[in-house]
Amino acid sequence: MNIQLNSKNALVGAATQGIGAGIATELAKCGANVTVMARNEEKLKDFVASLPVINENQKHQYLVADFSDFESFKKTITEYFSHNEVDILVNNTNGPQPGLAFDKTVEDYQKAFDLLFKTVCETTNLALPNMIKKGRGRIINVSSLSVKEPIPNLALSNSIRSAVIAWSKTLSIEVAKHNVTINNILTGYFDTERIKNLIDHESQQTNKSVEEIKKGREDKIPMKRLGKPEEYGHLVSFLASDYASYITGTSIPLDGGLNNTY
């Protein structure tokens, strides 16, 4: 199977590191024109310069956008879509702060809703008209295993990501007749800055060492290791391709078998 995404335009959120970077890199290797979106312009410039270019017509670019400020984000993403079309949309954002449900306020949940739900909804709604017009589109949402079983100390993420899954499943039914697919990836434990930060936070809360917590997580995974960002990119590239044209409305665990142990 040789995935070819030549001439396809992809927009990938939170893409200067971790899972987002892995996705953007693999899409570029398949020939897509990739726009990476994040808030740090210097990191964006460096990352775009590092993306593979496999044909003379392939071009990559970046978009400075702050997911944590919804009104600013809305203005930025609306301006982007006034001049650009995308064939592949990867909705990915940085995660909200960890913490217990009892410790979170209504305002905390509102901020998490703006970050995880409203940015995804806004971007998708702007991408869809052109996809429908062309009769083809791929929307892939980076989500979490927590939608199947809440993860301790991630009250905000557990709650709002579940809403995104329900919304995207509903939308996938509505747009399927236009050959637009919408799928979710339920992320397990990957070797990223995010997982390191969560482990550090857990270490501070429990007085356990970082090494002990990391090993504990790896031991729960049947494959006994954390995932690699490029492995995430492989699945996204497949879902973005014509090989996945009959797959929609799904939530696919990508977790080294961890989901099966619940």
Nearest Cα residue to 37 out of 145, 117, 110, 120: 120
* CA 235 to mean position of chain CA atoms: 12
Does residue 163 share a domain with residue 109?
yes
Q: Is position 130 within any domain?
A: yes
Residue type, 168: S
pLDDT at residue number 195 = 82
Does residue 168 share a domain with residue 207?
no
Does residue 184 share a domain with residue 203?
no
- Distance in angstroms (rounded) separating the CA atoms of residues 1 and 244: 12
- Distance in angstroms (rounded) separating the CA atoms of residues 86 and 10: 6
CATH of the domain at 151: 3.40.50.720
Does residue 215 share a domain with residue 119?
no
pLDDT at residue number 51 = 98
Q: Is position 253 within any domain?
A: no
pLDDT at residue number 207 = 85
Q: Is position 261 within any domain?
A: no
Token digits for 116?
Answer: 């995880």
What does the pLDDT look like over 66-118, one tens digit per residue? 999 999 999 999 999 999 999 999 999 988 888 999 999 999 999 999 999 99
pLDDT at residue number 32 = 98
Does residue 132 share a domain with residue 67?
yes
For the chain, what's the residue count? 262
Does residue 114 share a domain with residue 194?
no
pLDDT at residue number 142 = 97
Does residue 178 share a domain with residue 86?
yes
Rg (CA), the chain: 18
pLDDT at residue number 182 = 98
Residue numbers of the chain with a pLDDT score lower than 70: 260-262
Can you give the residue range of the structural domain that contains 222?
190-226
Residues with Cβ within 8 Å of residue 34, at least 6 apart in sequence: 10, 11, 12, 15, 24, 27, 28, 51, 60, 61
pTM for this entry: 0.92
Does residue 195 share a domain with residue 143?
no
Does residue 125 share a domain with residue 222?
no
Does residue 220 share a domain with residue 145?
no
Q: Is position 143 within any domain?
A: yes
Does residue 106 share a domain with residue 43?
yes
Does residue 143 share a domain with residue 121?
yes
Q: Is position 256 within any domain?
A: no
- Distance in angstroms (rounded) separating the CA atoms of residues 227 and 256: 7
pLDDT at residue number 260 = 61
pLDDT at residue number 184 = 98
